[in-house]
Amino acid sequence: MNPREFDWDACDDTSGNVNALHVAIPLFGRGRLAGIDLHEQIKVAKKEMREAIRKYAKADAGHQLKRKNDSDYLYDKFDMKVDVHWSDKMHGEMNARDWRIFKEDFNISYKGGSRVPHPIRSWDESKLSSELLAAVRRVGYKAPTPIQMAAIPLGLQQRDVIGVAETGSGKTAAFVIPMLAYIARLPPLTEDNEAEGPYAVVMAPTRELAQQIEQETVKFAHFLGIRVVSIVGGQSIEEQAFKIRQGCEVVIATPGRLIDCLERRYIVLNQCNYVVLDEADRMIDMGFEPQVVGVLDAMPSTNYKPMNEDEELDENKTYRTTYMFSATMPPVVERLAKKYLRNPVVVTVGSAGKATDLITQHVIMVKESEKMFRLHKILDELGNKIAMVFVNDKNSAGTLFRALDRAHYRVTTINGGMSQRNRDNSLESFRTKKYNVMIATDVLGRGIDIPDVAYVINYDMPPTIELYTHRIGRTGRAGKTGIATTFLTLHDTNVFYDLKHMLIQSNSPVPPELSRHEASKFKPGSIPHKPLRRSDRVFAH
Ligand code: ADP
Ligand code: MG
């Protein structure tokens, strides 16, 4: 509406601005639109806002614009609070409300611990050294992911952290970057102190995952001259001992092999004060708790932070920092955390155990005898796309692999029954796309990051919902989308309840056979609630 057409003063017509505010305000808060990139929405909203303000200021030419800032001007003019969006503010200008909106925008929440540092919104705000920032740039990570935004400032303060975030959301760099920042502040390892062992240890449940974390760490560490060695089972322990003796700041290990090396005195942890347990819950599930605890006990015990969080820390002292990460954190982990972590901050991105929305989940109710036919159908439509097919044990992996190989699919396999050399070769040829179908057991269920996996097929439904979440999380990583198809049979009733809830939570279709099945209505082990008989009801108040 052009205010000049009416007999009133230009500045009395607020319609343009009111409209602009109507468009802009919801987007400046939390009311974003589903399915559209958040940054894009904010950009559009800001543009519209600025245009509307400019238009109004023009119409208001007769009045003096005293303020240089458009939004201040609007604020004065209409006594309306037009808040500047957090992305337009410097870090120091952010108020409590901005931080709340920021955390909601990225689904970040904290529990436990006091004086939690604010997340970083960009790498520039991270207080990382220029060398480490240059390394991050060279690796090509343009912006931190939400778990990195939240966990890196905590790590830099040497706080203990339990980090829970979806599969494929960049948890590795969230613990690797502060770990390297910590090491870079220590005196360099020389012949004098090398024999005291590494400065930091990372433990992971499988060999393949430990090796992958090694690669992710080396990506950054080699720019800083920090040496990284992985020690995992299935390879020569003497060779690994030799590498350790040559000096390394970081050791990445499976707990069993690390404890072997400690017992044989190939390694000591006399100056190791930074420890990360990646996929902590899986290590406990697999029965590695004694080994994990053995490693934690081999570290200096004099460096624990005080139990009382308010007690002053000695600036000249190095404190032990313990990090635990996973996409799922069942209660067993809490026991370990209580003993070994000091006032940990639990950082959760999204909700624990939830699969990422980037994965489309299909569950199909089938008979055991139909599975092969259905798998063929999916693989026939795969083209050049990449798929991982999960089964529950190594024998099934072997059988399925041979059947698909005979049928001329480009298929490879990894399972616990293979030598480490064959496992490594198989994973490498899958990574390099020589084969586009991988038949795997849960050996590859956790943490493994193969960028282009488009499909995960659960040929067998895993026995727990955590395994399901992690298996399907091999697709839909680092912002890409993926499809997970699960063949469910009537032998899988133990997970019906959890699976149904997982599907409902992620807005995925629940097959009617699952939805109406008795086993999907009660958690296994819980006593079904019996409806009261009419005669009982009278006394039930
Ligand atoms: P998670 O441990 O949460 O399952 P990973 O640490 O394996 O996830 O990371 C998943 C993928 O995302 C990897 O390929 C990694 O290189 C990539 N990635 C991690 N952080 C970033 C970032 N800040 N920007 C771009 N890609 C990233
Ligand atoms: Mg991981």
Q: List the beta strands (DSSP E) in 26-118.
A: 108-111
- What residue has token string 């004060």? 273
Q: Going from the first residue of the chain to its last (541 residues), give the mean pLDDT of each consecutive group of 10, the final group possibly shorter.
A: 37 36 36 55 60 50 40 42 78 91 94 90 95 96 96 94 94 97 94 94 97 97 96 92 93 97 96 96 92 96 82 79 89 85 92 88 98 98 96 97 97 94 96 97 95 96 96 95 97 97 96 96 70 39 32
Q: Does any ligand 1 atom lie closer than 6 A to the CB of residue 478?
A: yes
The reported pLDDT for the residue numbered 75 is 41
Q: Which domains does the chain have, with CATH numbers?
A: 10-84 (no CATH), 104-349 (3.40.50.300), 359-520 (3.40.50.300)
User: What is d(CA 455, CA 380) in angstroms, rounded to the nearest whole number?
Assistant: 13
What is the three-class DSSP state of 459?
coil
Give the largest Cα separation in the chain, rounded.
Answer: 93
Beta bridge partners of 363: 486
Q: Does any ligand 1 atom lie closer than 6 A to the CB of residue 356?
A: no
Q: Does any ligand 1 atom lie closer than 6 A to the CB of residue 123?
A: no
Distances (CA, A) of 388 to 231, 238, 343: 26, 34, 39
Q: Does any ligand 1 atom lie closer than 6 A to the CB of residue 212?
A: no
The reported pLDDT for the residue numbered 309 is 79
User: What is d(CA 449, CA 94) in angstroms, rounded to the nearest whole number?
Assistant: 35
Given a contact cutoff of 8 angstroms between Cβ atoms, the answer to whether 216 and 136 are in contact is no
List the one residue out of 86, 153, 75, 163 whose CA is nearest residue 118: 153
The residue whose C-alpha atom lies closest to atom 19 belonging to ligand 1 is 170
Candidate of 212, 448, 449, 471 to mutate for ligand 1, largest count of ligand atoms within 8 Å of Cβ: 449
Distance 173 CA to ligand 1 centre (A): 7
φ, ψ (nearest 5 deg) of residue 382: -75, -30
H/E stretch holding 426: helix 420-431
Q: Does any ligand 1 atom lie closer than 6 A to the CB of residue 146?
A: no
**At 216, which amino acid appears?**
E
Distance 166 CA to ligand 1 centre (A): 11
Given a contact cutoff of 8 angstroms between Cβ atoms, the answer to whether 305 and 160 are in contact is yes
Distance 233 CA to ligand 1 centre (A): 25
What is the three-class DSSP state of 424?
helix
Q: Does any ligand 1 atom lie closer than 6 A to the CB of residue 167?
A: yes
Report residue 395 as tokens: 């024998």
Report residue 129 as tokens: 């050294």
Beta bridge partners of 349: 108
The reported pLDDT for the residue numbered 35 is 55
Q: Does any ligand 1 atom lie closer than 6 A to the CB of residue 145?
A: yes
Q: Does any ligand 1 atom lie closer than 6 A to the CB of residue 169?
A: yes
Distance 168 CA to ligand 2 centre (A): 7
What is the three-class DSSP state of 304?
coil
- CA atoms within 13 A of residue 177's CA, in its CB half-sphere: 31
The reported pLDDT for the residue numbered 54 is 54
The reported pLDDT for the residue numbered 204 is 97
The pTM assigned to this predicted structure is: 0.80
List the one residue out of 399, 326, 344 whose CA is nearest residue 166: 326
Distance 164 CA to ligand 2 centre (A): 10
